[in-house]
Structure 1
Amino acid sequence: MTLTKNKYYFEALDYFPYNMSECLDALNYALSYEPEDADSLCLMGRVYSEVLKDYETGKKYFEEAMQSNIANVNTPKFYIECLLSNEDYEEAEKLIEYALKMKGIDKAEILNCKSLLSERKGDNKKALEILKEARIFSYCRSTLDILDDREKLVQEKMPETNKKEETE
């Protein structure tokens, strides 16, 4: 059954987010073969949170994915992004702290989410500090580019006096 489930999961992943009809068909097949598959549940959460902007339903799928496999390193990043979009900052903060302790997780991605949390709370200076920490855990050019873009964005949002202090 796992091979069949994986086939449909990978099809769904391939279709996401460009062909949602085919994505949902494949995802429903994958979940029918293995209803507690964390990766399939996570992708369903992404469908609801990223495409449909139904954050509450997305959160339910992410919670189910976490309960199904607490060690799955794919779920926390997308779950955190859903929580941030839904302005569930306390939940996001707890999940970030948990995720940073997970073995094998991309810490740069999670720290980028933590920076976004600080920025959404209005603490741009802390957001910049976290982005600097995230650079330590960046092991590819694309991640560094993302962090550089985020850093520029946060700096542009800061008042002129704070910008001068940061550059000194």
Structure 2
Amino acid sequence: MPVRDERGLYERISLEAFQAELSWATILCKCPAFRAAFDDFDPDRIAGYGDTDVERLMADAGIVRNRAKILAAVANARATVRLREHGGLTDLVWGVQATRHPQAAHVRRDSHHLPPIAGPVQSAARTRARVRRPDHHAHALMEAIGVIDTHLLDSHRRGSSGIWPA
């Protein structure tokens, strides 16, 4: 569903970063703890975080305790605040939206057009490759917030964002 507010976008970007190399189930189960630990993903408050806050977060067993990801969340909050001078995070993220709906010929019509499910070895290799490709995370974010709709044409979710026709 569409997410167009700064706080909501910052939260999704942060959670995408924390999810790297982990399952979404792990992150979704920890969402309440993340929101509590990160001041409900308020970019202004997080932009002011210092070393004491980073250490507090590193000690919080309710969230993913990865120093690099925590530091990235703080850096992204600071960047979010600075972006306000140039239109803001919402304009930046939604500015990549296509001006017209992708042609149906380029969209998967039904489950027969999906790639085969990979086994554990192939899946692990794909995950490692995606972590090294930031564009994968950007694409996943754009799907999650409604900028793009990659649902199958016969899916009940196709067009549910209200942005693109079914």
TM-score of the superposed pair, with normalisation by structure 1 = 0.27
Greater fraction of residues in helix: 1
Which structure would you say has the larger RCO, counting Cα contacts within 8 Å and 6 or more residues apart? 2
